[in-house]
Chain A
Amino acid sequence: MAQNGSWYKYIRNKVIFRFAYLYSGCVVINKYVGNVIFLTGDSMQPTIYDGDIVFTRSYNPRKHEINKNDIVCVKSPTDAGILLCKRVALVEHEYDNISFNNIRPSARIAAGHCFLLGDNLEASSDSRAFGPIPMGLIYSRVLFRVWPPNRIGFIEKY
């Protein structure tokens, strides 16, 4: 270790590098492994409650498949920077038998798209409002719940 003024610089550089490594490590984990996400709202009751913390697995379209009835976190198609957590009710090429109103005529879900539906239909803003979403908006798939402690475990599938 060097003396006096350089000691201060040495510590500062060490802190900067370690912060850079830590930040980069977190970016890599978020991109390749998964995230811990704090969920709010009632739109997925009774599967997920307000305040649940879940572990999700990052979605890479080239490696992973999204299956019907998976619960996914998607980038909101209407609000920048917001993540929604919904269930995939219909995948591509399936007939849309959910949008009962005439705003969206009953048709097949387009290629590369999926139809999201909250489990709590009354309190959920989902594809019934904004239509099927492209799968490129999917951020991660919800795996299991880590909080609250009395309900830790894999999220139930239908």
Chain B
Amino acid sequence: MSTLWTITKIVGKAFGIISLPIAFCECVGHPASVVGASMEPTLRGNDARWWLNDIVWLSKIHSFPKNGEIYTYTSPRDPKVHHVKRVTATPGEIIDVKNRPPMPLGPLEYWMSSDNVTVGQDSRNYGPVNMGLFQGKAMFILWPPSRFGSLY
């Protein structure tokens, strides 16, 4: 029946068109706003006025995480929240922080640290973060315009 085929084509096209931006966010990247002060002064997210908090571009296309790069990841303590921290140790490196015996990191474990150590939780609280939890790599600050630019 040709009306059925027409309806299928319209529904298919609508679904495809709506899926395009969602797939782009999943596969290429998307902007995200920073919450919290744990990455000060690199990222500012502690103002109640939302237009003063940083917006960063999170890229889903990136090579293996390296020291100094900033990543978003699902928190190991609560899968509903995402944290954004900097990689300070990669698999195979030996961790030497207090309250922990020095041990090399496992094959997919990364040590994430806040830039602002007085605030927030990071690997000192919940240990190394598995690469499977990583969501995206923070590449640029998109907003505010005065701080626009690459993070590296």
Assuming A134-B74, A135-B79, is B23 touching A24 (CB within 8 A)? Answer: yes
Determine the residue in chain B with the shortest Cβ distance to A61: B79
User: Are the C-beta atoms of B130 and A77 separated by less than 8 Å?
Assistant: yes
Assuming A61-B74, A80-B131, A136-B74, is B19 touching A25 (CB within 8 A)? Answer: yes
Assuming A61-B74, A61-B80, A112-B77, is B26 touching A80 (CB within 8 A)? Answer: no
Stretch among A2-10, A15-23, A99-107 lining the B interface = A15-23
B33 in the interface, Cβ–Cβ < 8 Å? no
User: Are the C-beta atoms of A77 and B16 separated by less than 8 Å?
Assistant: no
Assuming A27-B22, A28-B22, A137-B133, is B79 touching A77 (CB within 8 A)? Answer: no
Interface size for B (C-beta < 8 A) is 29
B12 in the interface, Cβ–Cβ < 8 Å? yes
Docked CA distance A100–B17 (Å): 53
User: Are the C-beta atoms of B19 and A111 separated by less than 8 Å?
Assistant: no
* Per-position binary interface string of chain B over residues 60-79, scored 1 when its CB falls under 8 Å from any chain A CB and 0 otherwise: 00000000000001111111
Of A79, A80, A136, the residue contacting B75 (CB under 8 A) is A136
User: Are the C-beta atoms of A21 and B13 separated by less than 8 Å?
Assistant: yes
User: Are the C-beta atoms of B108 and A77 separated by less than 8 Å?
Assistant: yes
Interface size for A (C-beta < 8 A) is 28
User: Are the C-beta atoms of B19 and A28 separated by less than 8 Å?
Assistant: yes
Measured CB to CB, the closest approach of chain A to B112, in angstroms, equals: 13
A110 in the interface, Cβ–Cβ < 8 Å? yes
Residues of A within 8 A of B12 (CB): 21, 25
Docked CA distance A31–B18 (Å): 14
B152 in the interface, Cβ–Cβ < 8 Å? no
In chain A, positions 50-85 with a C-beta closer than 8 Å to chain B are 61-62, 75-80
Q: How many A-B residue pairs have CB under 8 A?
A: 82
Measured CB to CB, the closest approach of chain B to A130, in angstroms, equals: 8
A128 in the interface, Cβ–Cβ < 8 Å? no
B15 in the interface, Cβ–Cβ < 8 Å? yes
User: Are the C-beta atoms of B16 and A21 separated by less than 8 Å?
Assistant: yes
User: Are the C-beta atoms of B79 and A24 separated by less than 8 Å?
Assistant: no
Docked CA distance A78–B19 (Å): 32
Assuming A20-B16, A112-B77, is B133 touching A136 (CB within 8 A)? Answer: yes
B102 in the interface, Cβ–Cβ < 8 Å? no
Query: Beyond A21-B13, A77-B132, A135-B79: 6 further Cβ-contacts under 8 Å?
Result: A21-B12, A21-B20, A28-B19, A112-B77, A134-B76, A138-B79
> 25 interchain pairs (CB within 8 A)?
A21-B12, A21-B15, A21-B17, A23-B23, A24-B20, A24-B23, A25-B15, A25-B16, A27-B26, A28-B15, A28-B22, A28-B23, A31-B26, A62-B80, A77-B130, A79-B108, A80-B108, A80-B132, A110-B77, A111-B77, A112-B78, A112-B79, A133-B130, A134-B133, A137-B133
